[in-house]
Copies of this chain bind each other. A is one copy, B any other.
């Protein structure tokens, strides 16, 4: 069967749904490349948005995804959880292809993000200053929105901010 491009160009409704999914998300699946082998891995991380609307997380040096992102920052996020009810595949979800950028502790952007993150995720104050935790920003190259049957959209970074 020849490949078929099932993605439509973004429209206002698709952009609004993508923003809603990102705004509501408290966690996502994070796909990374495993270091030294050509294989992906996937884990769960906390997520929030910075003041520009860019996805950010606070991750531990002890996690396998952190070593993977240090070796290769190319990654992907799956945003939009189906919850407990209904057919999970009818719930909208958003794939974001990203490059991860770690923030240097003590830098102005770190301190700005720390303040914002704690206002959104107050429980993170328990570990935000642990030496093995770092903030990471996910710079999005494109997004694939699956809003249900026949509702697949390709989104650009400007659609998502």
Q: What residues of chain A have their CB less than 8 Å away from a CB belonging to chain B?
A: 1, 3-4, 6, 26-27, 29-34, 38-46, 61-64, 67, 72, 74-78, 81-84, 87-89, 93, 95, 97, 123, 131-132, 144, 146
Contact = CB atoms under 8 A, between A and B. Distances in A.
A33 B75 CA distance: 10
B93 A44 contact: yes
Name the 4 nearest CB pairs between A and B, nearest first.
A29-B29, A31-B31, A31-B42, A31-B40
A59 to B, nearest CB: 11
Contact of A42 (B29, B61, B64, B131): B29
Contacts of A74: 38-40
Contacts of A34: 97
Contacts of A88: 26-27, 44, 46, 81
16 contacts: A3-B67, A4-B62, A26-B88, A27-B82, A30-B42, A31-B31, A33-B33, A38-B38, A38-B74, A40-B74, A40-B75, A41-B97, A42-B77, A43-B146, A64-B144, A81-B88
A138 B135 CA distance: 33
A89 B33 contact: no
A33 B40 contact: yes
Contacts of A26: 88
A116 B59 CA distance: 40
A83 to B, nearest CB: 5
Contacts of A144: 41, 43, 64
